[in-house]
Structure 1
Amino acid sequence: MRRINMKKIYTYLLLMVFVLSITACKPEDKVPSEPPFDIYQWEPTLGSRTNQTPYTELDPSFNAEDFKIEPIAALQDGKRQDFMMGVDASMIKKVIDNGGIYYNLDGVEQDVFEILATAGVNYMRVRVWNDPYSPIGIRGGGDMDLETAYWIVQKARRVNMRIILDLHYSDTWADPEHQTKPYAWELLNFAELKEAVQTFTYDAMMYFKNRGVTPQMIQIGNEINNGMIWEDGRIVWNDTTSYDRLADLLKAGISGAKEADQHVKTIIHLADGGKFSIFDDFFKEITDRNVDFDIIGASFYPFYHGTLDRLQDNLDKISEKYNKPVFVAETSYAYTQTPHVNASNIFGPNQEENGGYLATIQGQATALRDVIEVVANVPNNRGLGIVYWEPAWLPVIGAGWAEAGTLATWSNQALFTYSGKALPSINVFKDVRGNQAVDVNIIGLKSDIVEIGLNIVSPVESESKMPETVIALTDVDSYIYAPVTWNQAQKNTAETEVGEHTVSGVVSYGSNTWQVTAHVRSIENFIQNPGFEIGKTGANDELPKPPWYVTSSLTDMVGKIQTNKDFRTGQNNFNYYHTTAFNYDLYQDITLPNGTYTLTAWVMGETNAKNIEHYMYVKNHGGSIMTANVFVSGWAAGYQQITIENIVVTSGQIRIGFYGQFNASTWGHIDDFELVRTNHA
């Protein structure tokens, strides 16, 4: 008879008991699937009032027959139905409470949430302040407490919008320059502050969840490039513990959100969406500290944050490197430069000059369309979508950016006229999914006169050669680079001879041609890499590359090449800073012909109160050291030119540089050196 192996049977029975114990868990012990998103049937809510004011009152160039929206291939034919077409319309309640009325494209009064949903909007972002009525300082516009946010959220959910909750962790506006700690938290120690962040986040989520409108996403802070809840959560360069504190605060917020609803997606949101180095620096630090978040959000305003190419570069790289989906959390553009008595619009001629589009209804539509396309083209569908900031902020008395009689600041960037009628540009959200045939054509040049500076001894072609393109205007009110053909003889002279030159060019498109004239200043700048544009590898912190050198009495970094931020021209600059008292010497040794020279450079920095001494210098040129003191007046004053003239070189060489000795936390930027010969020895 075959012997029965009781040991094997016993082991098998134990294994089966273990398996059954797992599969028979109580339902509440299992991780539930993501709850369904309820879709509601709603009927339009129309009023009796009408608004037939012509769009040409605010945009004289508008012609309905010429207005067009180019489709986006990645979103056509039913693709990416989950793509976020969002708005942050947090000022809506304040506008309505103060008499604002909204009208649809036909000019008929209608619920504003319905107008937005009909146009294709499927997400509503709403900001939340801890206590907008606290005595912390300026009372921000909209009174965005939880109650006000809920008023907006429940109306957005009625028309089937998903919800993004934007917690500022402040009683007022929060952005890279302002992260004011809530008044109720001012006396908390850091351990208590972390607990307060977690509790507030949990309570905010539960406030909505208990009312049947659970947010799908939640921002843990708003534009936190420099940290949050200052001073505790402020990021300080060269102080790694500052990132430790910020990471702890972010973890507390994320924990509170997930405790309230494990399905909510947590967002970390930065400004400067066209600047990969800023995003990479930040997300490396918080990833190294194991901050477990879900989505990266980026603000991108074309008039502030660079080109679409740079936005694409950042979103592509940052989403791949950190394996996170991305979205543009804020964007907008103006449709008019016409003023309004109740508005103090921040978008003016300078923003239009820098933005890449005309401030017209067509230009606004194209600007929004182009940002959507960038996000839709992020590889592997990692681009989730966009949020248009404050599309419904009408200029009504009582709906200013703060209380106490302030005015609206965003009304010429709304998707409604000043009197509340929807603009044709509001349909971008749905029309980019269409199959309409749209051709984009060049219709002229931005200017028929261009100013160009060449350094004919530079090894960089973009500095020593005439450009191959000039800026042209299209029939969708966007600016693009168009190929130009220069007069060859004039071009050769400008690229080889010092002096002032005129070069004629022609731009051709189809059967049309446009004449352009370039006024060219050609110099011999003997400084190599004068704007620090060469040699940046993409690392988080980099010293200048030879022939630039930096020395200091401190052993850690006091100066670095900064990319895509605070530059005067190009994309880079030299940035000095340290959290303790420090000095630095930035210099370059140059071999050059004997003669008389002028040295110039541009400096922007903190006011001179923190400077012990700071000057530009030349030496080793055959004469005594020559210096020029640096006088700067803060970020708002911009770059100031520093000059040393009549430098007589008799040794065939020279050292040029900057020396500074500072108190703690002094900062500054240097860019655009120029050493030119004024006559020969």
Structure 2
Amino acid sequence: MNRIDRRTLLKAAGAGAGALASSALLPAGPASAATFVKGADVSWLPQMEAKGYTFYDAGGVQRDLLTILKGYGINAIRLRTWVNPSSDPSNGHCSIEETAAMATRCKSAGLPVDIDFHFGDTWNSAGVQNPPAAWAGMSYSQMLEAMYNYVYHSMNVIKAGGVTPGWVQIGNETNGGICHPVGSLSRPAQMTGLLGAAYDMVKEVFPSTPVLVHLAQPQNLDGIYGFLDAYRGNGGRWDITGLSSYASGTNIPPILSNMAAIQSRYGKPVMQVEFGGRYDRADRTRADLQAFITGLKGFGGLGLFYWEPEVYSPFNSYAMGAWDPATRRPTTALNGFLNA
């Protein structure tokens, strides 16, 4: 590893890092330091466009999706990336090269991006954390080297496209760790080492970009605390705690209370990086979106990303998009961004 002395990185990994001030955790530019992030994950967009899907605004005028989203106050985009994905439209693509191209497009539209590493070849989530196939037989030391190289390369691909990410997530819903079994929560030192390698390489290429750890199910505080206590206890570093919640109605207030508790316990601002609601209950989803944004603002949360609002049938079976397949116009769900 010739880009930086490994001993320096490992020393830094054990030393910890001071929490950034909240104002430093939001990107400069269209989403300024004082701006609450209203975002959308649109990682399926290139595949939808390749298949001929088009998008119309509320008035029936065909426009670029990013332009339509900005009309609802959306000021940031989240993009996932996989290591060696297949060509499947729903479960593949999103290589770092494709993600970088999309990030450049977002920059041209005036939208900062959150890069979401899954550290797999396809979906990783709270219940599934499979390593990339190329890493599956590796020892911990080999996987650590692979992580350093992969994240360092990925960040430089993004940089070559002229983009400085607004945020980077090191893992997706990592409640049980990453790259099982080597980096599982049951092996907290190895889990922290792998995530620390990712953190270091993000910061080496983009020193001022905030790094998130991302956890699901904030309704289960014991599970969140179990991960974060183990991670912090082994020297883990992060700047923002990212959380997923698709809660609705009366389930939202207690989850917001938990989010505030997580922020207070660890001294890291919270960002809700995934939200969604049923397409066939758009008014309910609009109200839920508004409730989450209002609640997050109330305790100083940084923002919220709607997960894949652009999806409409028959692209795939995802039922939480915010687009009408008959008119190809947005549903009322997105008005929650304007009302909050």
TM-score by length of 2: 0.87
Q: CA deviation at 1:131?
A: 0.7
**d(CA) in 2 for partners of 1:35, 1:174:** 26
2:237 to 292, 298, 301: 292
- Helix, strand or coil: the match of 1:109? coil
2:323 to 416, 437, 442: 416
Q: Which residue of 2 aligns with 1:393?
A: 311
Q: Which 5+ residue runs of structure 1 have no aligned equivalent? A: 1-32, 41-78, 237-241, 337-358, 400-407, 433-681
**d(CA) in 1 for partners of 2:120, 2:239:** 22
Opposite residue 263 of structure 2, the aligned amino acid is: S
Which has a greater percent of helix?
A: 2
Higher mean C-alpha deviation, range 327-336 or range 181-190 = 181-190
Residue 71 of structure 2 corresponds to residue 122 of structure 1? no
TM-score by length of 1: 0.44
- Helix, strand or coil: the match of 2:180? coil
Q: CA deviation at 1:230?
A: 1.1
Residue 255 of structure 2 corresponds to residue 366 of structure 1? no
**d(CA) in 2 for partners of 1:87, 1:35:** 16
Q: Which residue of 2 aligns with 1:153?
A: 103
Instruction: Sort the Cα spacing of 1:284 and 1:34 in 2 relative to 1 into closer, same or farther, 3 A.
Output: closer
- Helix, strand or coil: the match of 1:376? helix
**d(CA) in 2 for partners of 1:85, 1:102:** 20
Aligned residues: 316
**d(CA) in 2 for partners of 1:148, 1:423:** 28
- Helix, strand or coil: the match of 2:105? helix
Opposite residue 300 of structure 1, the aligned amino acid is: S
Q: Which residue of 1 aligns with 2:265?
A: 321
Residue 106 of structure 2 corresponds to residue 162 of structure 1? no
Q: Which residue of 1 aligns with 2:140?
A: 190
Matched residues, percent identical?
25
Q: Which residue of 2 aligns with 1:229?
A: 179
**d(CA) in 2 for partners of 1:35, 1:316:** 19
Deviations 1:91-137 (A, max 9, x none): 11111111101000101111001000111111101000001039xxx
Opposite residue 128 of structure 2, the aligned amino acid is: H
Opposite residue 219 of structure 2, the aligned amino acid is: G
**d(CA) in 2 for partners of 1:233, 1:110:** 43
**d(CA) in 2 for partners of 1:296, 1:393:** 27
Higher relative contact order (CA 8 A, sep 6+): 2
Deviations 1:543-600 (A, max 9, x none): xxxxxxxxxxxxxxxxxxxxxxxxxxxxxxxxxxxxxxxxxxxxxxxxxxxxxxxxxx
Residue 72 of structure 2 corresponds to residue 112 of structure 1? no
Deviations 1:434-455 (A, max 9, x none): xxxxxxxxxxxxxxxxxxxxxx
Which has a greater percent of strand?
A: 1
Opposite residue 104 of structure 1, the aligned amino acid is: D
Q: CA deviation at 1:306?
A: 8.4
Q: Which residue of 2 aligns with 1:256?
A: 201
- Helix, strand or coil: the match of 1:296? strand
**d(CA) in 1 for partners of 2:184, 2:230:** 14
Residue 330 of structure 2 corresponds to residue 428 of structure 1? no
Q: 1:451-470 to 2 correspondence within 5 Å?
A: none
- Helix, strand or coil: the match of 2:235? coil
Instruction: Sort the Cα spacing of 1:202 and 1:367 in 2 relative to 1 into closer, same or farther, 3 A.
Output: same
Q: 1:29-40 to 2 correspondence within 5 Å?
A: 37-38=28-29
Opposite residue 265 of structure 2, the aligned amino acid is: K
Q: CA deviation at 1:142?
A: 4.7
Q: CA deviation at 1:188?
A: 2.2
Opposite residue 322 of structure 1, the aligned amino acid is: Y
Instruction: Sort the Cα spacing of 1:219 and 1:180 in 2 relative to 1 into closer, same or farther, 3 A.
Output: same
Q: Which residue of 2 aligns with 1:470?
A: none
**d(CA) in 1 for partners of 2:122, 2:89:** 6
Q: CA RMSD in A?
A: 2.4
Q: CA deviation at 1:149?
A: 1.3
Q: CA deviation at 1:311?
A: 1.3
Deviations 1:309-333 (A, max 9, x none): 2212211111111100001111100
Q: Which residue of 1 aligns with 2:5?
A: none
